[in-house]
Amino acid sequence: MDSFSLLMQGLSAAMDPMILLYALIGVTLGTAVGVLPGIGPALTVALLLPVTYGLDPAGSLIMFAGIYYGGMYGGSTTSILLNTPGESASIVTAIEGNQMARQGRGGPALATAAIGSFVAGLIATLLLAFLAPQVVKLALTLGPREYFALMVLAFVTVSATFGDSALRGLTSLFIGLALACVGIDGLTGAARLTYGVPQLMDGIETTTLAVALFAIGEALAVAAMLTPPDGMHKITGSVRMTATDWRRSWKAWLRGTFIGFPIGSMPAGGADVASFLSYAAERKLTRHPEEFGKGAIEGVAGPEAANNAAAAGTLVPLLTLGLPTTATAAIMLAGFQQFGLQPGPLLFVMNAELVWTLIASLLIANLMLVVLNLPLIGLWIKLLSIPRPWLYGGILLFATLGTIGVNPSPVELGMLILFGLMGYGMRLYGYPIAPVVVGLILGPMAEQQLRRALSIAQGDWTTLVATPVSATLLGISAVFLIVPMLMRLRGRGRVLSQVAGDAD
Amino acid sequence: MSQGISPERRPPNRSRGAAFIIAAGLAGIAALILVDAAGLKQDGGYAGVGPGDVPRIIAYGLLVLSVLTVVSGLKGDLPRPPRQAPAPVFWILGGLLGQVAFLHVVGFVISGALLFGMTARGFGQRPLWKAVAVGIGLALVIYGVFDQLLQLNLPAGPLERLIFGG
Cβ contacts (< 8 Å) between B89 and chain A: which residues? 220, 223-224, 424
Is position B1 within any domain? no
Instruction: Please answer yes or no on whether A167 and B68 come within 8 Å at the CB atom.
Output: yes
Mutate to test the interface with B, among A167, A174, A407 (most CBs of B within 10 A): A174
Residue A501: helix, strand or coil by DSSP? coil
**CB of A174 closer than 8 Å to CB of B58:** yes
Given a cut of 70, the residues of chain B with pLDDT beneath it are: 1-15, 43, 166
- d(Cα B122, Cα B39) in Å, to the nearest integer? 45
Do residues B22 and B71 share a domain? yes
| Same domain as B160, residue B133 | yes
**Most A-contacting residue of B2, B89, B102 (CB-CB within 10 A), to test interface:** B2
Chain A and chain B share a number of CB contacts under 8 A equal to: 243
Residue B6 inside a domain? The answer is no
* d(CA B55, nearest CA chain A) in Å: 6
Please say which residue of B75, B105, B129 terminates a domain. Answer: B75
Shortest CA gap B24–chain A (Å): 13
* DSSP structural state of residue A233: P
Please indicate if any CB of chain B lies within 8 Å of the CB of A201.
no
- The C-alpha atoms of residue B88 and residue B93 are separated, in whole angstroms, by 9
Residue in A51, A216, A504 nearest the CB of B150 = A51
Report CB contact under 8 Å: B85, A401: no
Does residue B4 sit within a domain? no
Residue B2 resides in a domain: no
pLDDT of amino acid A258 = 92
Q: How many residues does chain B have?
A: 166
Contact B65 A388 (CB under 8 A): no
User: Are the Cβ atoms of B93 and A195 closer than 8 angstroms?
Assistant: no
Say what the pLDDT of residue A188 is. Answer: 82
Tally of domains in chain B: 2
Is the CB of residue A181 less than 8 Å from the CB of residue B33? Answer: yes
Which chain B residues have a beta carbon less than 8 Å from that of A188? Answer: 41, 43, 45, 50-51
Torsion angle, CA of A72/A75/A77/A80, rounded to 10 degrees?
A: -120
Distance of CA A396 to the CA centre of its chain: 21
Q: Please give the average pLDDT of every successive group of 10 residues along chain A, which has 504 residues.
A: 83 90 91 81 82 82 90 83 70 84 85 91 92 89 91 88 83 95 86 85 87 88 76 64 87 92 79 84 86 86 90 91 87 88 88 91 91 83 84 89 83 92 91 90 91 89 90 92 83 60 44
- CB of A218 less than 8 A from some CB of B: yes
**Per the CB < 8 Å rule, is B92 touching A408?**
no
Please give the residue range of the domain that contains residue B122: 86-164
pLDDT at A240: 75
Cα distance between residue B42 and residue B56, in whole Å: 12
User: B142 and A171 in contact by Cβ < 8 A?
Assistant: no
Handedness of CA A331, A334, A339, A342 (dihedral sign): positive
Given an 8 Å threshold on Cβ–Cβ distance, is A389 in contact with B93?
A: no
Q: What is the pLDDT of residue B76?
A: 80
Asked if A429's CB is within 8 angstroms of B22's CB, the reply is: yes
Whether residue B160 sits in one domain with residue B90 = yes
Contacts of A220 in chain B (CB under 8 A): 88-89, 92-93
Contact B69 A221 (CB under 8 A): no
Domain boundaries, chain A: 3-498
- Cα separation, B57 vs A76, whole angstroms: 42
Residues of B in contact with A227 (CB under 8 A): 82
| Alpha carbon distance B115, B97 (integer Å) | 9
Whether B65 and B115 map to the same domain: the answer is no
Tell me, what's the pLDDT at A234?
Answer: 65
The distance of A263 to chain B (nearest Cα, Å) reads 20
AA identity, residue A412: E
Of B36, B65, B99, the CB nearest to A167: B65
Residue B135 falls within a domain, yes or no? yes
Boundary-marking domain end, from B47, B75, B103 = B75
Tell whether B133 is covered by a domain. yes
Cβ neighbours of A455 in B, within 8 Å: 45-47
Which of B25, B56, B75 corresponds to the end of one domain? B75
DSSP bridge partners of A192: A183
Q: What is the pLDDT of residue A434?
A: 86
Domain co-membership, B130 together with B154: yes
Å between A238 CA and nearest CA of chain B = 28
The answer to whether B113 and B139 are in contact (CB under 8 A) is yes
Residues of chain A with C-beta less than 8 angstroms from the C-beta of B82:
225-227
Rg (CA), chain B: 24
Q: What is the DSSP string of chain B?
A: ---S---B---HHHHHHHHHHHHHHHHHHHHHHHHHHHTS----GGGT--TTHHHHHHHHHHHHHHHHHHHHHHHT-SPBPPPB-HHHHHHHHHHHHHHHHHHHHHHHHHHHHHHHHHHHHHTT---HHHHHHHHHHHHHHHIIIIIIIS---PPP-HHHHHHH--
Q: How many helices (H) and strands (E) does chain A have?
A: 22, 2
The nearest CA of chain A is from the CA of B48 a distance in Å of: 5
Specify if B3 maps to a domain: no
Minimal Cα–Cα distance from B13 to chain A, Å? 15
Upstream peptide bond of B127 is cis (omega within 30 degrees of 0): yes
